[in-house]
Structure 1
Amino acid sequence: MKLTKLSAAVLFGLASSGTFAAALDRSGQSISSFLQPGNYFEAGISILDPSVSGKDLSGNHTGDMAGDYYFPTAALKIQATDNISVGLLYDQPFGADAEYTGTNNFVASPADGVLPGTALTNGLPVVTANPTGSFNGIPVITDPSTGLPVAIGLGTQITGNTSVEVDTQNLSLILGYQPTENFNFYGGAVYQTVKGNVKLRGSAYSLFNGYDADIPEDNAFGWLAGAAYQIPEIALKASITYRSEIDHKVNVNESIPLIAPLGSLLVASGALPGSALAGLNSSGETKITTPQSVNLDLQSGIMANTVAFANIRWVDWSSFSIRPHKFGQLSELAGGLLPSLGKPNGFNLVDYSKDQWSVTTGVGRKFNEQWAGNVSVGWDSGAGNPVTTLGPTEGYWNVGLGLQYSPTPATFIAGGVKYFWLGDADAQTGAHSAAGKFEDNDALAYGLKIGYKF
């Protein structure tokens, strides 16, 4: 059976399996390049073109809110001795890119609702519009026909769209030990940077309408460890890799424009003591912990020049959350003032209710000394449903095709394409309040990679 040269060939033609995964997952954090024989270098790029749209609770169309994005990868592996290997891997494991447009509850308008009418506001709803009069010293909007107040007007105009952008980078330095031809034990350090920007706009976010959070770039270290087993004669290879969570502590630059007018109103009406607003002007660190994960990769020859492969990935998204300092202070205040929220201890800007599981499986075949190809099927569980308005999909199914051309025994160029059927999702805000429904969405991913064995 001619299988010994297939182990490197079958996966190269695939577009990255993580290009549209649960929560913020992107690259899939593969280390297959480190497990290639001899000295090896590769560089690649993946591009995703998603289409994600839905309706808000009022039935308004959101338009396509998912942005196109790309991310590069690169790897260098050196077989220093018969028993020692060293690798340097670069990827962008997590990220987000989305923006709402049009006329809907995720885009600011001149008269967005801020709070419903409760005892705190004398039964009058609170909106961002300019007041047209005054009632008992409170700025109100009156009914022209009766002159009676129908809402409290904050006179704070919010503009813009809800959007999110998150970028991360990983640089992994790996040391491997091969006691025999069959076993490989490896581990190393992971250097990670993270930065992001979030804008919340529209009535869906209530008193957080107009909220901005700028997360400056931060760096921190984690680690990885794993083991691999192979039988080269039959193209059998199995590996398991654990990556640790990585803690970042940042001072997020936050702006909450509705706090001043709304706070003044509630204090003036006696609904809130002035001391309750003190924490909203304080500053403090925000902890962001990127999740731990496990990758299991399997591959085996099944006939001459043909192999089957599978990847199983788990990511601990249920332990992930982001609660910037001022956002958290306001959410705790809101949870106390509005028992109907059911959040007396506040809530997060982003969190997920379940862990992510994903599976990719397929078959690769070597056609001749220069050409190889593969087909694959993938599934992703998502990270729970309902899910954040900043990424309103629940998992996917996909199919992929890949092709590799090797002009010389030491070089190759590979490309792949995948089509994704994205899972329907109910969108919710950080307070876990229903915000919309997103259905019948899809995405197309492309990948290109070059490699050199030396």
Structure 2
Amino acid sequence: MRLNKLYLALTLITLPLSTMAAGLDRSGQSISAFLQPGNYAEAGLSVLDPTVEGTDNNGNTVSDMGDDYVFASAAVKIQATDKISFGLLYDQPFGADAQYGVDGSDFASTALNEGTSVKVRTNNITALVGYQPTENWNFYAGPVWQTVEADISLRGDAYKGSNYTIQVDQKEAYGWAAGFAYSKPEIALKAAVTYRSEITHNAKSHEDSALNQYHGNDIVNSTVQAVTPQSINIDLQTGISQNTLVFANLRWVHWDQFVVSPTHLSKDLGQDLISYSDDQYSATIGTSHKFNSKWAATAAVGYDSGAGNPVTTLGPTEGYWSIGLGGQYSPAEHYFIQAGVKYFWLGDATAQTGGDTVGEFTNNHAIGYGMKIGYRF
């Protein structure tokens, strides 16, 4: 069973979808573009549309607080020689979007006519250099540049009426990634293990609340530390017939003991902004089939363990199960268009602030949509 154009196309098929993963994890930090043969470039856009509802401690209904989340990805890979390759990958690996309604629940202020809102954004560029001593092995490593910024408002009795707001200025920091891959083209076999280091951000923050009498009613300007977690990705695939392959993507993220504790919120109000208690484990397993020279499809199921329960109110779900479908259209051999959709059954979670339970969120779901364009040159 030799690698032919059908298999070459199949190795590109993925589900270019946003995720609803544990903690703030969003993109999954794939390096699959770097492992494509020859010179290759891609660009993608994903949208996550969650529905997250619950009840507060008083039995009030908490209306849908999950805002749509949109993020982009792009990559270019150059095979400079038979043994040396270079790659540049952009994604937005961590983030959050939430907007609680003014619905009479403990997560909104009627006086201010505002609900709790959350916006967290990261940008990530990974530069990789690969060395291929043989046609089967690839060893790669390189630096990672990352930024993080946030704008968060906590409103209502769940936060002791503090009407707390924090803005975190965009701050860049650096880490690294490294890994190895093995391939056997004649059976479309690929296996890769990639490690990413944690990245420590020390960003300027600006905190304000109704309880700022601790600081003479002034905005508290300080430095907040956030450490985006280390992770390991394992990617596997193999052909099982001339036009079909199976694949698995496994991921571990070190969320255990992850805490973001701004000065005013932690010292004066006795709360953490974000905290997780468990590591995240996730898996996606699926199959891809090539129907003809232009069309192919993928189906996959996924599981995510979550990052512990109770959780913070900024993302009150614990893990998920998912099912996804994707399609690929190749107008010519050197480029393709992919699109996909994924449905998530979100895990039930207990929300807490300052160690106190403030709400229950159950029977929630999300839908992800994605599109990607790939080009060989």
Q: Normalising by the residue count of structure 2, what TM-score does the alignment of the two structures yield?
A: 0.96
Q: Which of residues 289, 302, 322 is equivalent to 2:240? A: 302
2:364 matched to 1:441? Answer: yes
2:108 matched to 1:184? Answer: no
Q: How does 1:24-423 map to 2 (within 5 A)?
A: 24-101=24-101, 102-110=103-111, 159-206=113-160, 209-260=162-213, 283-331=221-269, 346-423=270-347
Contact 1:159 1:210 in 2 (8 A): no
CA distance in 1, matches of 2:178, 2:41: 21
CA distance in 2, matches of 1:248, 1:294: 20
- 1:2 Cα deviation after fit: 5.4
Contact 1:45 1:71 in 2 (8 A): yes
Give per-residue Cα distances to partners, 1:198-249, cap 9 Å, x unaligned. Answer: 1111001115x21100001001111000000000000000000000111111
Unaligned runs of 5+ in 2: none
**Partner residue in 2 for 1:9:** 10
CA distance in 2, matches of 1:443, 1:188: 34
Report the AA paired with residue 168 of structure 1.
T
Report the AA paired with residue 66 of structure 2.
A
Contact 2:13 2:288 in 1 (8 A): no
Q: Normalising by the residue count of structure 1, what TM-score does the alignment of the two structures yield?
A: 0.80
Cα-Cα RMSD: 1.7
Task: Tell me the secondary structure at the aligned position of residue 327 of structure 1.
Answer: helix
Task: Tell me the secondary structure at the aligned position of residue 268 of structure 2.
Answer: helix
- 1:287 Cα deviation after fit: 1.0
Larger helix fraction of residues: 1
CA distance in 2, matches of 1:244, 1:387: 24
Runs of 4+ aligned residues of structure 1 deviating over 6 Å after TM superposition are: 277-282
Contact 2:142 2:178 in 1 (8 A): yes
- 1:13 Cα deviation after fit: 4.4
Unaligned runs of 5+ in 1: 111-157, 264-276, 332-345
Report the AA paired with residue 84 of structure 1.
I
Task: Tell me the secondary structure at the aligned position of residue 285 of structure 1.
Answer: strand
- 1:257 Cα deviation after fit: 1.7
CA distance in 2, matches of 1:278, 1:162: 25
- 1:259 Cα deviation after fit: 3.6
Contact 2:339 2:372 in 1 (8 A): yes
2:338 matched to 1:453? Answer: no
Sort the Cα spacing of 1:361 and 1:90 in 2 relative to 1 into closer, same or farther, 3 A.
same
- 1:250 Cα deviation after fit: 1.4
Report the AA paired with residue 62 of structure 1.
V
**Partner residue in 2 for 1:153:** none
- 1:386 Cα deviation after fit: 0.9
Sort the Cα spacing of 1:2 and 1:317 in 2 relative to 1 into closer, same or farther, 3 A.
same
- 1:7 Cα deviation after fit: 5.3
Mark the structure with the bigger radius of gyration: 1
CA distance in 2, matches of 1:357, 1:181: 32
CA distance in 2, matches of 1:365, 1:2: 16
Sort the Cα spacing of 1:61 and 1:2 in 2 relative to 1 into closer, same or farther, 3 A.
farther
Contact 1:422 1:440 in 2 (8 A): yes
- Percentage identity across paired residues of the two chains: 54
- 1:109 Cα deviation after fit: 3.2
CA distance in 2, matches of 1:279, 1:83: 62
Report the AA paired with residue 159 of structure 2.
Y
